[in-house]
Amino acid sequence: MTATLDPARPAAAPAPRRRWHRVVVPVGLAVLLIVTTLVLHAVDQPDPTDRGFLAPAATGDDGGSRLAEALRAQGVPIRRATDTPAALRSAGAGPTTLFVPAPDLVHPATLAALTALPPGSRLVLVEPSRRVLTGLGVPLEPTDRRWATRAVPPEADGTPCRLPEALRAGTAAVDHQRYAGPSGTDRCYAGALRRISWGTEVVVVGASDPFRNDRIDEWGNRALATGLLGGDRPLVWLDLPGAAPAPTGPSWSPTPDDDGTPLPRRNGGRGNDRADPPPTWHNPLWDAFPPWFWAVLAQLAVAGLLLVLWRGRRLGPPVSEPLPVTVRAAETVLGRARLHRRAGARDATAATLRAAALDRLLPRLNLPADTPPDEVAARVAAHADADPERVAELLHGAAPENDRELLELARDLDALARTLAPHPTEGDPR
């Protein structure tokens, strides 16, 4: 069967190619923008592990030299210590303010000793992690974390702030990491600043901005930083150059100070006779990005899944669709034959050939379509004067094992059909 294109109907336009650009390019640009934003944000954020981070002598943007100058101008003596035992020795026996700008660098074995300062002392921690708070034994835990630090007033969320230093400073850039604690703790700046009496007065600050050289003169940062670290107490500035090593010996502070004051010991002064429980493991990857980043990532994953399902477009069985052009029957048969040959579907090809032969033979013999195979073989053999077993093997036998047997089957079926139905059906070119 052949057909030609209708000259009155315009030829169908060829299907557009490379449509994936319409999806890949916008998605790629969006991913590139997100990745660039994340990288720039990560580079812009201060790294507590860098040398000079909030160091009293560092003059860089992340240093603390301007804060140290402001405290000295107020008459606050500053003692710089580069390890935890030295900082506790510098604290002495009187009230002291211990400033720990990078608490994550303190070794877990010496964390508990930071709260064993003399009565009337204050411990100031900058953005301590969950591991640090667990090691200190302080009933505080980090909660919400913002993408960037926000300047808010002390009573930003309507909760009264009872910390005088925060009330005098007013609005300050502190709202970066928020903390939750028991009802007895002082809460300021929407939970970004907490004060709790836990042996020692512990103050937790959720951002390093008020102490840094490049942010100290913004809003009330200078007043807040000098208020928390100043006063009539000497300041011990724990400037760790890197992660502190593990303490050595049966007790990490075996000798008294120069003035005869013994250093605080772990486990209530009993020495290292009992091992501390290991800190709770927490995946730092969850804290590396804000919560909304994971929400956007989940939405992108869902959008990608929906895109895959949409592009697949195979949610059900195949359906017939009108062809945009008329195709010659010989081309259709040839294309289907090539697909069967490539798939090695000899059984399906043999079944198709036998079904086509029966479609030509049954009407010729006036047999219904549901006639049993034995009866069909007997009637065909009687009219064709052939062996009934041979006819039954041709019409209802096993699938051929190779291409040669398939070709012989096709020729025998064609010869049998020509014997009983000599007139070709519509579409047969013979």
388-396 helix and 373-384 helix, angle to the nearest 10 degrees? 130
Q: What is the pLDDT of residue 262?
A: 39
- For residues 220 and 139, the answer to whether their CB atoms sit within 8 Å is no
* 218-247 residue pLDDT tens: 999 999 999 999 989 999 999 998 888 777
Which amino acid is located at 191 in the chain? G
**pLDDT category of residue 195 using cuts at 50, 70 and 90:** very high
Q: What is the pLDDT of residue 90?
A: 87
Q: What is the pLDDT of residue 284?
A: 57
Q: What is the pLDDT of residue 175?
A: 94
Q: How many CA atoms lie within 13 A of 159 on its CB side?
A: 17
Return left, alpha or beta for 190; rule: phi > 0 is left, psi -120 to 50 is alpha, else beta.
left
Q: What is the pLDDT of residue 327?
A: 76
**Strand, helix or coil at 23?**
helix
What is the C-alpha separation between 264 and 256, in angstroms, rounded?
9
Q: What is the pLDDT of residue 248?
A: 66
Task: Quote the Cα angle for 147-150-153, to 5°.
Answer: 150
**Beta bridge mates, 201:** 122, 197
What is the C-alpha separation between 153 and 174, in angstroms, rounded?
9
Task: Quote the Cα angle for 121-185-113, to 5°.
Answer: 40
**DSSP-assigned letters across all residues of 68-99:** HHHHHHTT--EEEESSHHHHHHHHTTS--EEE
Q: What is the pLDDT of residue 229?
A: 96
**Strand, helix or coil at 152?**
strand
| Residue 18 reports pLDDT greater than 70 | no
Q: Which sequence spans correspond to the domains of the chain?
A: 65-242+289-295, 329-420
**Beta bridge mates, 355:** none
Question: Of 241-250, 334-343, 350-359, 369-378, which range is least confident?
Answer: 241-250
Q: What is the pLDDT of residue 3?
A: 42
Higher pLDDT, 47 or 429: 47
Q: What is the pLDDT of residue 275?
A: 36
Q: What is the pLDDT of residue 251?
A: 43
What is the C-alpha separation between 19 and 33, in angstroms, rounded?
22
Q: What is the pLDDT of residue 127?
A: 95
| Residue 423 reports pLDDT greater than 90 | no
Return left, alpha or beta for 366; rule: phi > 0 is left, psi -120 to 50 is alpha, else beta.
left
Question: Of 212-216, 298-302, 312-316, which range is least confident?
Answer: 312-316
Mean pLDDT computed over 386-405: 87
* 70-97 residue pLDDT tens: 999 999 999 999 998 889 888 877 899 9
Nearest to 176 by CA among 144, 202, 204, 201: 144
Mean pLDDT (the chain) is 81
Higher pLDDT, 260 or 217: 217
**pLDDT category of residue 403 using cuts at 50, 70 and 90:** confident
Unique residue bearing structure tokens 């402001």:
70
| Residue 124 reports pLDDT greater than 80 | yes
Nearest to 178 by CA among 165, 159, 197: 159
Higher pLDDT, 102 or 32: 102
Which of the listed ranges 9-23, 193-207, 274-288 does the model predict with the highest average pLDDT? 193-207
What is the C-alpha separation between 68 and 58, in angstroms, rounded?
10
**Strand, helix or coil at 18?**
coil
Q: What is the pLDDT of residue 370?
A: 86
| Residue 267 reports pLDDT greater than 60 | no
Mean pLDDT computed over 363-381: 86
Nearest to 233 by CA among 172, 165, 167, 181: 165
| Residue 254 reports pLDDT greater than 70 | no
What is the C-alpha separation between 116 and 263, in angstroms, rounded?
9
Percent of the chain scored above 70 by pLDDT?
79
**Strand, helix or coil at 128?**
coil
Mean pLDDT computed over 386-409: 87
* 129-188 residue pLDDT tens: 999 999 999 999 999 998 889 999 999 888 899 999 999 999 999 999 999 999 888 999
Unique residue bearing structure tokens 């290292």:
272
Encoded tokens for 246 = 């593990």
Percent of the chain scored above 90 by pLDDT?
34
